[in-house]
Structure 1
Amino acid sequence: MLRDLLGPGAGVCLEVGCGTGVHARTVRELGWTPFGIDLSSGMLRYARGRLPVARADAERLPIRDDALPAVVAMMVHTDMPGYATVLREVARVLRPGGVFVHVGVHPCFCGGFADRTDPAAVVIRPGYTDSHWTKTSWTDQGVRNRVGAMHRPLPELLHMFLDAGLPLERFTETGAPTPTVLALRARKP
């Protein structure tokens, strides 16, 4: 999804919430120069071997206005209660025509409201339409039921991009039998 939505390019591509830097290789293969920021110094210790990094808050990016041709956010929006502020910061640091790629947990089918008892279908229980921090998870196999995640319904998530001044260009989903990942590309006018 990252490869298809970001596409080939040149210049610095910032990864917001880069974690261990696992996506740097793909960014580099596309011709971009990866650079990552994250709040976690523990994660950045792993990332340093993969890309240049800085410890920074995504809600206050230490980058000048209109500086970057590309920014990506990979599977982080549920970890960021202030994602609307993050998107405004992304719009601020992107140069006109710059691209932003968001790849994240699909808000419609992943969360404590998603009953995945039947592997052939997902039953949506009450709770999807409410924005909230939750430790209720559709699985007990990960960390979400211990550390929690921010849930936002799809319209709220998409409006955050538009409100930040990032018009949406392309979308894709993946997962079976029901999508688990939603990805999109937006471009700063």
Structure 2
Amino acid sequence: MAPTAAYDEIADWYEQQFLGAAGARDGDPLGLDGVLRGLLGEGSGTCLEIGCGTGVHAARVRELGWTPIGVDLSAGMLRHARGRLPVAQADAGRLPVRDDSLPAVIAMMVHTDMPAYPQVLREAARVLRPGGTFVHVGVHPCFCGGFADRGDPDAVVIRPGYLDGHWTKASWTDQGVRAKVGATHRPLPELLHAFLDAGLTPERFSESGEPTPAVFAIRTRKSVEPSSSSF
């Protein structure tokens, strides 16, 4: 399924109904604010958000001192984002950004929308300066997916299927994004290996959402190549 068409079709619903229902405007039920503050931290310079969607995370980035910019494949989502941050329509697997040019890149709750996420991580590493920071905040691979029934938040049921990396529309609710556009699942080891394969070194980890985490996040850094010297 083409992500452009899928998110174009639901962009207005996402902005006007889903975000409000999820408490994005009136609260932070998943703890995304604390996770982003803890992993990205205060800084300066440009911070690129890959898959920025409607741009709802730009305010958090700006509060930390960074200058947010965003890219997304969906013109419909970007229509809502343009009032929140500078944006460009682009494929996350082929970012229109120079090599080694950015101090920070983030991806917020989007990796399941990107079947080629390992390539996206390689692109993030390419555009980061040596020593630059990449922060991934995503749905928790262990407790969210077509195999997880979160209908009772106090007793999440994990059925067989976690080990099967796949795309699915299966969901415990018909009110979420997964049921409308589907999602790609990667078990935790596969996801972590993708960061290592991209040349991104893990530094810190975080989980959020209670009582069973719904979010898994990681801060990584692009390695600084050792300078050559003569002996």
| Structure 1 position 167 matched with structure 2 position 201 | yes
1:132 to 166, 170, 182: 166
In structure 2, C-alpha distance between the alignment counterparts of 1:46 and 1:117, rounded to whole Å: 30
Q: Choose which of 58, 62, 66 in structure 2 pairs with 1:24.
A: 58
Query: Which TM-score applies when normalising by structure 1?
Result: 0.97
SS at match of 2:47: strand
Q: For 1:34 and 1:118, how far apart are their aligned partners in 2?
A: 36
**CA–CA distance in structure 2, aligned partners of residues 99 and 138 of structure 1:** 34
Q: What's the CA shift string for 1:136-157, capped at 9, x where partnerless?
A: 1132221312321001111111
Return the letter of the residue paired with 1:68. L
Whole-angstrom distance in 2 between the partners of 1:49 and 1:118? 37
SS at the partner of 1:177?
coil
Q: Which digits, 9 at most, give the CA deviation of each residue in 1:13-39, with x for residues without a partner?
A: 000000111111111111111000001
Does 1:3 find its partner at 2:8?
A: no
Aligned length: 189
The residue type equivalent to 2:99 in the other structure is D
Q: Which has the larger radius of gyration?
A: 2
2:126 to 92, 105, 121: 92
Deviations, residues 124-176 of structure 1 (Å, cap 9, x unaligned): 21100011001111322213123210011111111100110001111111112
Aligned counterpart in structure 1 of residue 74 of structure 2, from 20, 36, 40: 40
**Amino acid corresponding to residue 140 of structure 1 in structure 2:** D
C-alpha distance in 2, partners of 1:116/1:45?
Answer: 31
Q: Deviations over 1:36-74 (max 9, x none)?
A: 000111111111111111111100001111000000000
- Is 2:130 aligned against 1:79? no
Distance 1:117 1:148 in 2: 18
Deviation digits for residues 58-93 of structure 1 (CA, Å, limit 9, x no counterpart): 000011110000000000000000000000000000
CA distance, structure 1, for counterparts of residue 177 and residue 213 of structure 2: 20
SS in 1 for 2:172: coil
Sequence identity percentage: 78
Residue 5 of structure 1: how far off its partner (Å): 0.6
8 Å contact from structure 2 (residues 149, 171) kept in 1: no
TM-score normalized with structure 2 length: 0.80
Change (3 A) 1:75 1:117: closer
Q: Which residue of 151, 172, 177 corresponds with 2:211?
A: 177
Please identify, of 175-184 and 140-149, the stretch whose mean Cα deviation from structure 2 is larger. 140-149
5+ residue gaps, structure 1, are none
**Structure showing the higher strand proportion among its residues:** 1
**Structure with the higher fraction of residues in helix conformation:** 2
State the 4+ residue runs in structure 1 displaced beyond 6 angstroms. Answer: none
SS of 1:167 mapped into structure 2: strand
Tell whether the 8 Å contact from 1:110 to 1:138 is kept in structure 2 after alignment. no
- Rate the CA distance shift 1:121–1:46 in 2: closer, same or farther, 3 A: same
Offset of residue 118 of structure 1: 4.2
**1:56 corresponds to which of 73, 90, 93:** 90
Q: 2:101 aligns with which of 67, 70, 74?
A: 67
Shift of 1:117: 4.7
What is the Cα deviation at residue 112 of structure 1?
1.5
Q: State the SS of the aligned residue for 1:156.
A: helix
